[in-house]
Amino acid sequence: MKKRFFFVVMVLLLTVPLVGFGQNASAAGFIDVPNRAAKEVNYLAEGGIANGSSATIFGADKTVTRMEAAAFIGRALQLDGTQRVTNFKDVSSGSFASGYIQSAVEKGILSGYDGGRFLPYNEVSRGEMAVMLSKAFNYNFGGTLSGAANALTSRGIASGLEDGSFGADQIIKRADFAVFLARAISPEFRTKTFSSFTKTLWANVGDLNIRSGPSTSYASVGKLAKDTKIIGAHDIAGWTYIKSGSTTGFVSTYYLRNTEEQTTTTPDNPIHGADSRLSGQTIILDPGHGGTDPGAIGNGLKEKDVVLKTGLQVNDLLKQTPFNVKMTRSTDTFIPLKTRSTFAKDNGGDVFVSIHVNAASASASGTETYYYAAGNPYVADSKLLATKIQKRMLAAWNLKDRGVKPGDLSVLRENNMPAALAELGFISNAGDAAKMKSDYSMKIMSKAIYYGILDYYDAKGYEVSPLYDVAK
């Protein structure tokens, strides 16, 4: 992460019982947060959505600007926050919020003003924030301030003021925003029950974490067994708020389905224009580690979880193509190294891609890909596969290029097919790990590996151009 500010997005001044008003709570180590907002600030801090101006100061009484609102919305929804050129002449590409502003505008959550201006330093009012939040969380509000206010109050997210009005013109403070945003994300904080469990869902995999918030930064509050039936409510950034028995929380939407029977998604007919020979090609995906072997650990993450998520996403993309695709593991299971290469050979693999993350000192960063060179009849193809995947991964995360390298690694050495081992980044580096925690960044990396495999087949003379559209 380039620069850390603590941004605040849409906050409606919430009228709640102020027990102990005037006293401050030690929310996430902050000494300036009032008791009424402590739980909500802790919640947002746990998910990396809210931070302070220092380790002890949250800035609870400061107002929220439009660029801070964009950044908080972006963090909550896991939008692309990469700093870049925007549509606005008053927002430079170097602004900490430039990526979030552009992403929020593209999704219709925010808009600018005449003359190509965004007015990033303007303070945000309660009414403006109500509209922003209603758009961000897909609440029906009729396009009016009163409708947006009603969308929030009816859900127990906000209340009116003591005079009975909503106070749409009043400016929002950070502490009030924290309460507001936390309630929008998790019904656990709301002032009234608002039942929206309308979807029947099933778990696709076993040992599936139910988390207190919509990211892997949040603690697990329970587990789901494979094929467990649950009920779901709203979705946030690739996570679904669910209920299973007496347990509520967020589950990655990727691991849920809406039919009782799990079915294969491999197409019966090849994609129009794709090479007919591809149906005879089998791709082996190998998420490293698993089960009792967590792999590298750092910044609140385990390698086995990161690479399994990546592998399942690549698998999902490949299943929409004529390729055959097999995974050495699709659940949190320990698979010995030699069993992985044996599995690849027994399943007639034509290409083998192993997925890992690195660990070293906190300063080490970057992406690298390995192939086996010693006595390997597929050395040229293995290097080609590794090179194509490495190029795509670099474009996806823009980390340091650590190169394509020969490596004497078991899963490569013991294979009898073109094989590559991808190291996405360093779990021990805070910046690299932040990408591993982001659903958005993980999807971008999974697409990169998918594209890298297609690039390899393209270089080998196969017609794969129609398959690139699968990941769009």
- What pLDDT does residue 186 have? 95
Judge whether 77 lies within some domain. Answer: yes
Q: In terms of residue numbers, what domain contains 460?
A: 276-471
How many percent of the chain have pLDDT more than 70? 92
Return the bridge partners of 27, or none. 30
Q: In terms of domains, do 245 and 370 share one?
A: no
Q: What is the pLDDT of residues 74-124, one digit of tens each?
A: 899 888 888 889 999 999 999 999 999 999 998 899 999 999 999 999 999
Quick check: 400 pLDDT over 50? Answer: yes
Q: In terms of domains, do 236 and 323 share one?
A: no
Q: In terms of domains, do 52 and 74 share one?
A: yes
Judge whether 14 lies within some domain. Answer: no
pLDDT interval class at 133 (50, 70, 90): very high
Reading phi first (left if > 0) and then psi (alpha if -120 to 50, else beta), residue 59 is in left
Q: Which of 61-65, 78-82, 210-214, 347-351 has the lowest mean pLDDT?
A: 78-82
Taking CA atoms, 436 is separated from 28, 36, 385, 390, in Å, by 23, 33, 23, 17
pLDDT interval class at 223 (50, 70, 90): very high
Q: In terms of domains, do 84 and 146 share one?
A: yes
Are 290 and 335 contacting, i.e. CB atoms less than 8 angstroms apart? yes
Residue 235 phi/psi, 5-degree rounding, is -110, 140
Q: Using CA atoms, how far apart are residues 194 and 122, in angstroms rounded to an integer?
A: 33
Provide the CATH number for the domain around residue 438.
3.40.630.40
pLDDT interval class at 28 (50, 70, 90): low
Judge whether 173 lies within some domain. Answer: yes
Give the domain-ending residue among 162, 189, 216. Answer: 189
- What pLDDT does residue 7 have? 35
Q: In terms of domains, do 223 and 252 share one?
A: yes
Residue type at 138 in one-letter notation: N
- What pLDDT does residue 21 have? 31
Quick check: 20 pLDDT over 60? Answer: no
Quick check: 23 pLDDT over 50? Answer: no
- Taking 3-state DSSP, the helix, strand and coil percentages for the chain, each rounded to the nearest 5, stand at 35, 20, 45
Angle at 150 between CA 146 and CA 153, to 5 degrees: 135
Quick check: 194 pLDDT over 90? Answer: no
Average pLDDT over every residue of 52-63? 87
Quick check: 8 pLDDT over 60? Answer: no
Are 183 and 156 contacting, i.e. CB atoms less than 8 angstroms apart? yes
Domains of the chain: total: 3
Give the domain-ending residue among 131, 154, 189. Answer: 189
Q: Which of these is catalytic: 40, 128, 368, 423?
A: 423
pLDDT interval class at 55 (50, 70, 90): confident
Average pLDDT over every residue of 284-297? 93
Q: How do beta strands 419-426 and 351-358 pair? A: parallel
- What pLDDT does residue 208 have? 87
Q: In terms of domains, do 179 and 228 share one?
A: no
Q: In terms of domains, do 94 and 165 share one?
A: yes
Judge whether 113 lies within some domain. Answer: yes
Average pLDDT over every residue of 145-165? 91
Average pLDDT over every residue of 271-290? 90
Return the bridge partners of 101, or none. none
Residue 190 phi/psi, 5-degree rounding, is -75, 160
DSSP state of 467: G
- What pLDDT does residue 395 have? 96
Average pLDDT over every residue of 3-20? 34
What is the dihedral angle through the alpha carbons of 99, 102, 106, 107, rounded to the nearest 10 degrees? Answer: 60
Judge whether 19 lies within some domain. Answer: no
Give the domain-ending residue among 164, 189, 214. Answer: 189
- What pLDDT does residue 375 have? 73
Average pLDDT over every residue of 375-388? 92
Are 396 and 444 contacting, i.e. CB atoms less than 8 angstroms apart? yes
Judge whether 264 lies within some domain. Answer: no
Q: In terms of domains, do 163 and 307 share one?
A: no
- What is the chain's mean pLDDT, rounded? 88
Q: Using CA atoms, how far apart are residues 410 and 106, in angstroms rounded to an integer?
A: 45
Q: In terms of domains, do 446 and 317 share one?
A: yes
Q: In terms of domains, do 160 and 245 share one?
A: no
Q: In terms of domains, do 233 and 307 share one?
A: no
Are 235 and 214 contacting, i.e. CB atoms less than 8 angstroms apart? no
What is the dihedral angle through the alpha carbons of 138, 139, 143, 148, rounded to the nearest 10 degrees? Answer: -130
Quick check: 308 pLDDT over 90? Answer: yes
- What pLDDT does residue 442 have? 93
Q: Which of 51-55, 393-397, 438-442, 457-461 has the lowest mean pLDDT?
A: 51-55
CB atoms within 10 A of CB 138: 12
Judge whether 263 lies within some domain. Answer: no
Which contacts of 91-99 are long-range, i.e. CB under 8 A and separated by 24 or more positions? 91/67, 91/118, 91/120, 95/67, 95/120, 96/2, 96/3, 96/5, 96/67, 96/71, 97/5, 97/7, 97/67, 97/68, 97/70, 97/71, 99/74
pLDDT interval class at 324 (50, 70, 90): very high
The model's pTM is 0.63
Provide the CATH number for the domain around residue 221.
2.30.30.40
Return the bridge partners of 230, or none. 201
> Among this protein's residues, is 423 annotated catalytic?
yes
Q: In terms of domains, do 392 and 334 share one?
A: yes
- What pLDDT does residue 12 have? 34
Judge whether 423 lies within some domain. Answer: yes
pLDDT interval class at 267 (50, 70, 90): very low
With tokens 């669910």, the residue in question is 242
Q: Using CA atoms, how far apart are residues 98 and 102, in angstroms rounded to an integer?
A: 6
SS3 state at 382: helix
